[in-house]
Amino acid sequence: MKTALKLAYRNLVGAGLRTWLNVIVLSFSFVVIIWLKGIMMGWDYQAKSDMTDWQIGGGQYWHEQYDSFDPFTLSESHAVIPEQFNKEIALGDMVPMLMVQGTLYPQGRMQSVTIKGIDPHQNLFLLPTHRLDTVVDGIPAIIGLATAQDMQLEKGDLVTLRWRDANGTFDATDIVVVDIFSSNVPAAEASQVYIPLQTLWEMSDMEGEATLLTFRDEDEERAEVQGWVLKPKEVLTASVDKILKTKTAGQSVFYIILLLLAMLAIFDTQVLSIFRRQKEIGTYIALGYTRREVVGLFTVECAMHSILAVLVGALYGIPFLAWQAKAGWTIPMDAGDFGIAMAQTIYPVFSIGLIISTVLIVVVVTTVVSYWPSRKIAKMNPTEALRGRIQ
Amino acid sequence: MDNNAIIQIRELTKSFPMGKSKFTALSNINLSLEKGEFTGLIGPSGSGKTTLLNIVGSLDTPTSGEAWVLNQSIGSLSAKEAARLRKEKLGFIFQSYNLLAVHTVFENVEFPLLLLKIDAAERKKMVMDALEWVGLTDKVKSKPPQLSGGECQRVAIARAMVKRPSLVLADEPTANLDAANSHHILQTMVKLNEELKTTFLFATHDDKVIGYLRRKIYLLDGKVANDEWVKDYHTVK
């Protein structure tokens, strides 16, 4: 083995440019595979963390009639906040939210919106609800950037809002856009108007009622409450998980292509070696190598290619990946258009496990692939190989 | 079997399949070589000399008959045993040198010693001795593509001789060399044969080589046509 290692090393170093070309292709595969997986992990982490910060907290209680995919359920999905939550709400660890269907009339157009009543002093979400304390000529409201762009609204704009109260009576008033926020969570932005909860209670005649109750602590064990459905965080992020799973499948295709590229580089080297180096193989045998030892030598050479590729990959990959983790990858299109929680800039997350597993997979796969063409050596007639006659 | 013989061949036949028929390259060969001989298998292309050399070198096996080399029957050796015989006892010199192109001269000559697992210091000494025999101590770091044909063949001789083999098999060693280089190479081999008592067996049809042989075995159509010893042989020409 020691001899094979020594000879393989000499062969690799001696082959010069051919070795380095293979090593660079392989190292590129390593780095890109790790980068892609890092992006997926970063996206996963970021999507969930943004959803937590802007939309779902540590989990929610939904009114039993509430269906997030059906706005017509909003008129029925509200009830008095259960007393057992009062203490948690007072401590700021639970935020009630009342949701009412409404219509906004920006620039003379009519746009359906969901009016969300929220406590201006909450700090569970990153929403700038403190701005709802602003005194203005109308109801202070905050909207997301997506809504602002869609409705051509700017900070300070006065716009008419119409809604229907608990008795089915339509009413309208003016709201003032006191702040426009930008999140990476489309569901927190698109067609949503946030106003003070107390104001919405008065507007809708639903005093003390809520549609959603968002709690902070996701680890606390929670009981079922009559009339309300407990939605733990993992249930609320299930859609993101599903999308990421689909995306991961798509990425896996790319991952496999890269792996195939790495395998092709090694396979190509090996197949070429069998034909280009047959005189050399014959010489090894003439000088006392068994065929098995020659196969071993070629396999060790390939394993060394992979290890060299790891080192070369580390040389430019570590600074590149470190920079990416810091600077992130900015998606060259509007991420909001995708309709899921996705930041414009994704910060890849690289774990030691990810790096080690990727390196191991590529090294093992390329070594195994290299063994296959090497087996042809075992079938070579040494006297023909010595003369380089095998076709 | 003659115990003094380094090579003993009895009724050796070698045939190769050619479509539905077969081609007989060697037919009923009987030969015996003793230690220290400087002998050549001479004949035109297709006469079977390289086939015989390959069998003696345990790179091939006889179809029938027996070939004993250094007291080992070539036909009954396993692949591993044949490899061990080549590794420990035989040296090869090829027409096209067969040097490892990406290795230096030193590494090429060192190769057989690596296979014998000789320690580094001893290896270095043996390689330098071998390169001194062939006058290439100043080329240790050169690679084969940087050498002339004559120099390459001298490296090949050093590689064949470095482990002090009992038998060196040389297949058309001067075929790619000019006259001056051929004589230089052959003189080197004669010198090594005399100093180290190494047995040399050539396969050749080159008159320059034939002129240096002490024993000439003529092959024709796979048969021994003539086997003669040179009278009044002068050592270094």
* Count of Cβ atoms closer than 10 Å to residue A40 Cβ: 21
Question: How far is it, in rounded angstroms, from Cα A114 to Cα A194?
Answer: 8
Range in A37-41, A161-165, A218-222, A260-264 the model is least confident about: A260-264
- Any chain B CB within 8 A of the CB of A15? yes
Question: How far is it, in rounded angstroms, from Cα A319 to Cα A316?
Answer: 6
Instruction: Flag whether pLDDT at B111 surpasses 70.
Output: yes
- Any chain A CB within 8 A of the CB of B45? no
Cβ <8 Å between A288 and B107: no
pLDDT (0 to 100) of residue B133: 86
Contact between residue A185 and residue A146 where contact means Cβ atoms under 8 Å apart: no
Q: What's the whole-number mean pLDDT along residues A248-253?
A: 74
Phi/psi of residue A214, nearest 5 degrees: -100, 130
Chosen from B89, B98, B105 to mutate, greatest number of chain A CBs within 10 A: B98
pLDDT (0 to 100) of residue B3: 62
Range in A128-142, A200-214, A373-387, B141-155 the model is least confident about: A373-387
Question: How far is it, in rounded angstroms, from Cα B119 to Cα B96?
Answer: 30
- Any chain A CB within 8 A of the CB of B98? yes
Strand partners, A94: A215
Q: How far is CA B107 from CA A6, A14, A53, B111, in A?
A: 11, 11, 65, 6
Residue partners of A103: CB distance under 8 A and separation at least 6 = A110, A111, A112, A113, A161, A162, A163
- Return the amino acid letter for B126: M
Residue with the bigger pLDDT between A376 and B12: it is: B12
- Any chain A CB within 8 A of the CB of B80? yes
Instruction: Flag whether pLDDT at A149 surpasses 60.
Output: yes
Phi/psi of residue A60, nearest 5 degrees: -145, 155
Q: What's the whole-number mean pLDDT along residues B52-62?
A: 95
- Return the amino acid letter for A283: T
In a domain, B45, yes or no: yes
Instruction: Flag whether pLDDT at A263 surpasses 80.
Output: no
- Selecting from A10, A11, A289 the residue whose C-beta is nearest the C-beta of B83 gives A289
Instruction: Flag whether pLDDT at B19 surpasses 80.
Output: yes
Q: pLDDT for A339-363, tens place per residue?
A: 555 667 788 888 888 888 888 887 8
What is the distance of C-alpha A342 from the center of its chain? 7
Instruction: Flag whether pLDDT at A387 surpasses 80.
Output: no
At A307, list the tokens. 């290890």
Residue partners of A2: CB distance under 8 A and separation at least 6 = none
Instruction: Flag whether pLDDT at B29 surpasses 70.
Output: yes
pLDDT (0 to 100) of residue A362: 78
Question: How far is it, in rounded angstroms, from Cα A170 to Cα B168?
Answer: 109
Instruction: Flag whether pLDDT at B201 surpasses 90.
Output: yes
Q: How many CB pairs lie under 8 A apart between chains A and B?
A: 69
- Selecting from B98, B100, B103 the residue whose C-beta is nearest the C-beta of A386 gives B98
Question: How far is it, in rounded angstroms, from Cα B75 to Cα B93?
Answer: 22
Q: Which of A295-309, A373-387, B191-205 has the highest mean pLDDT?
A: B191-205
In a domain, B52, yes or no: yes
Question: How far is it, in rounded angstroms, from Cα A328 to Cα A347?
Answer: 4
Shortest CA gap B232–chain A (Å): 35
Strand partners, A229: A62
Chosen from A12, A377, A386 to mutate, greatest number of chain B CBs within 10 A: A386
DSSP H helices, A72-211, are 86-91, 145-151, 186-189, 197-204
- Any chain A CB within 8 A of the CB of B111? yes
pLDDT (0 to 100) of residue A332: 67
- Confidence label for A244 from pLDDT (cuts 50, 70 and 90): confident
- Selecting from B59, B88, B111 the residue whose C-beta is nearest the C-beta of A382 gives B59
Shortest CA gap A18–chain B (Å): 11
Contact between residue A193 and residue A113 where contact means Cβ atoms under 8 Å apart: yes
In a domain, B13, yes or no: no
Question: How far is it, in rounded angstroms, from Cα A42 to Cα A49?
Answer: 10
- Any chain A CB within 8 A of the CB of B97? no
Nearest residue of B to residue A289, measured between CA atoms: B83
In a domain, B208, yes or no: yes
- How many independent structural domains does chain B possess? 1
Shortest CA gap B93–chain A (Å): 10
Which residues from B are below 8 Å from A6, CB to CB?
114
Question: How far is it, in rounded angstroms, from Cα B25 to Cα A202?
Answer: 110
Residue partners of A35: CB distance under 8 A and separation at least 6 = A320, A321, A324, A348
Q: pLDDT for A21-71, tens place per residue?
A: 888 888 888 888 888 888 888 887 888 888 889 999 999 999 999 998 888
- Any chain A CB within 8 A of the CB of B79? yes
Instruction: Flag whether pLDDT at B62 surpasses 70.
Output: yes
Cβ <8 Å between B100 and A283: yes
Residue with the bigger pLDDT between A34 and B73: it is: B73
pLDDT (0 to 100) of residue B150: 87
Cβ <8 Å between A282 and B98: yes
pLDDT (0 to 100) of residue A296: 86
3-state SS record for chain B: CCCCEEEEEEEEEEEEEECCEEEEEEEEEEEEEECCCEEEEECCCCCCHHHHHHHHCCCCCCCEEEEEECCEEHHHCCHHHHHHHHHHHEEEECCCCCCCCCCCHHHHHHHHHHHCCCCHHHHHHHHHHHHHHCCCHHHCCCCHHHCCHHHHHHHHHHHHHCCCCCEEEEECCCCCCCHHHHHHHHHHHHHHHHHHCCEEEEEECCHHHHCCCCEEEEEECCEEEEEEECCCCCCCC
Q: What's the whole-number mean pLDDT along residues B77-89?
A: 94
Question: How far is it, in rounded angstroms, from Cα A138 to Cα A125?
Answer: 24
pLDDT (0 to 100) of residue A335: 55
pLDDT (0 to 100) of residue B235: 56
Shortest CA gap A251–chain B (Å): 40
Nearest to A36 by CA among A367, A314, A317: A317
Residue B152 sits in a domain whose CATH number is: 3.40.50.300
Contact between residue A380 and residue A291 where contact means Cβ atoms under 8 Å apart: yes
In a domain, B102, yes or no: yes
At A120, list the tokens. 């201006």
Instruction: Flag whether pLDDT at A269 surpasses 70.
Output: no
Question: How far is it, in rounded angstroms, from Cα B13 to Cα B27?
Answer: 4
Shortest CA gap A290–chain B (Å): 6
Q: What's the whole-number mean pLDDT along residues B190-216?
A: 92
Shortest CA gap A291–chain B (Å): 8
Return the residue matching tokens 């180290």. B196
Query: What ipTM does this complex have?
Result: 0.91
Contact between residue B49 and residue B217 where contact means Cβ atoms under 8 Å apart: no
What letter does residue A55 receive in the DSSP assignment? I
Chosen from A7, A13, A277, A290 to mutate, greatest number of chain B CBs within 10 A: A290
Q: How far is CA A232 from CA A218, A235, A362, B69, in A?
A: 7, 5, 38, 83
- Any chain B CB within 8 A of the CB of A246? no
Question: How far is it, in rounded angstroms, from Cα B62 to Cα B75?
Answer: 6
Residue partners of B99: CB distance under 8 A and separation at least 6 = A283, B108, B144, B152, B155, B156, B159
- Any chain B CB within 8 A of the CB of A288? yes
- Selecting from B94, B96, B112 the residue whose C-beta is nearest the C-beta of A288 gives B112
- Residue A116's H or E segment, with its range, is strand A111-118
Cβ <8 Å between A10 and B86: no
pLDDT (0 to 100) of residue A187: 83
- Selecting from A13, A279, A290 the residue whose C-beta is nearest the C-beta of B83 gives A290
Question: How far is it, in rounded angstroms, from Cα A231 to Cα A59?
Answer: 6
Question: How far is it, in rounded angstroms, from Cα B99 to Cα B143?
Answer: 9
Which residues from B are below 8 Å from A386, CB to CB?
59, 94, 98
Cβ <8 Å between B115 and A383: no
Which residues from B are below 8 Å from A14, CB to CB?
100-103, 143
Shortest CA gap A292–chain B (Å): 9
In a domain, B166, yes or no: yes
Q: pLDDT for B184-198, tens place per residue?
A: 888 988 988 998 889
Residue numbers of the domain that contains B170: 36-63+78-229
